[in-house]
Homo-oligomer: A and B are copies of this chain.
Amino acid sequence: MAPLCAAVDWGTTNFRLWLLDAEGRVLAGRSSGEGMRACHPDRFGPVLEAHLKALDAPADLPVVVAGMAGARGGWREAPYRETPASLDGLYRDAVKVDGIARDVRILPGVCQRGKGREDVMRGEETQLAGAWAENRQSGLFCLPGTHSKWARAENGQLTGFTTFMTGELFALLSEHSILRDMVAAGEGDSASPAFRDAVGEMLEGGVLSAKLFSIRAASLLEGAAAPDAKAWLSGLLIGAEIAAVRRDLAVGAEVYLIAGGVQARAYETALATAGIACRTLNGQDLVRLGLFSAARALWPERTT
């Protein structure tokens, strides 16, 4: 069957491409580490073409792209839409890449304005669009990562969101702080009681910059025995997120968690510790669904 389009999730560190048919089924796929960070602005085109060629994609196959390729300093800047942003209307602000033969459209990110509430996302909005397109899901979505997002979507509108520097702080503290040696020795397993205890401390009103130092102090006072420092650090940072979000959460509310692997396990454990129900969704499926939904709207003539 002939593909409808190629759908590309082009992030900071990863590149993923799917050939999709008119029903959104995956005909073929490719992935690599050629994220935005590894690509000069003039390399995006050749990288894309090489992947398409490897899949024998037609020369006139259109391509829809989400993620950091649309950032300033990426391939082409696709300016942010502002909240509230219609999730099935992202395609309307897609930017066409000029100067190339192929029809390539980059979906916009979403921003939030307001003093002290400024926030931005690129790529996550397409996952949320996928959740809306596929299941008409409304509610609070948690998208963990280097910069974890908590986003509220209601009836297909992304109404607001907050980014926490959780993953970046974890990396900074693990690699450059006085906690470095302690954390390096740990497993960081979210099944460890230390992880749940740390989440619990933050839920009870713990203050992050103080709790961080207590990792150091506990290690000094208890000798070398701190096998769980990595799990403790992870629990504090994730717990800080959940403690903040829980303030605004209705009792009994369910959270959609868009994550996989150990990250999903950690957030599921932390949410359970906070007594918050969650349903875990697959982020790669969602971004593909969001891209497919945009492609159908961009090229309606190809679906008939």
Interface positions, chain A 40-74, Cβ under 8 Å from B, are 72
Nearest Cβ distance between residue A227 and chain B, in whole angstroms? 16
**Complex contact A209–B172 (CB within 8 A):** no
For A219, the closest partner residue in chain B by CB is B118
**Per-position contact with B for A139-163: 1 when CB-CB < 8 Å, else 0?**
0000000010000000000000011
Task: State the interface size on chain A (CB cutoff 8 A).
Answer: 49
**Complex contact B163–A118 (CB within 8 A):** no
A172-B172, A172-B177 given; A118·B218 CB < 8 A: yes
CA distance A148 to B129 in the complex (A): 44
For A80, the closest partner residue in chain B by CB is B221
The count of identical subunits is: 2
Residues of B within 8 A of A178 (CB): 168
For A148, the closest partner residue in chain B by CB is B209
**Complex contact A208–B206 (CB within 8 A):** no
**Complex contact B111–A217 (CB within 8 A):** yes
Check: A125 CB closer than 8 A to any chain B CB.
Answer: no
Check: A240 CB closer than 8 A to any chain B CB.
Answer: yes
Check: A1 CB closer than 8 A to any chain B CB.
Answer: no
**Complex contact B213–A116 (CB within 8 A):** no
**Complex contact A221–B172 (CB within 8 A):** no
Residues of B within 8 A of A118 (CB): 214, 217-218, 221-222
A120-B217, A120-B220, A217-B118 given; A244·B172 CB < 8 A: no
Residues of B within 8 A of A168 (CB): 177-178
Residues of B within 8 A of A115 (CB): 197
Q: A147-B213, A162-B207, A207-B240 are known contacts; what are 10 more A-B pairs with Cβ within 8 Å?
A: A111-B221, A117-B214, A119-B214, A163-B214, A163-B217, A165-B209, A169-B212, A175-B176, A207-B243, A209-B237
A-to-B contact residues, CB < 8 Å: 72, 80, 111-113, 115-120, 147, 162-166, 168-169, 172-173, 175-178, 197, 201, 205-214, 216-218, 220-222, 237, 240-241, 243-244, 247
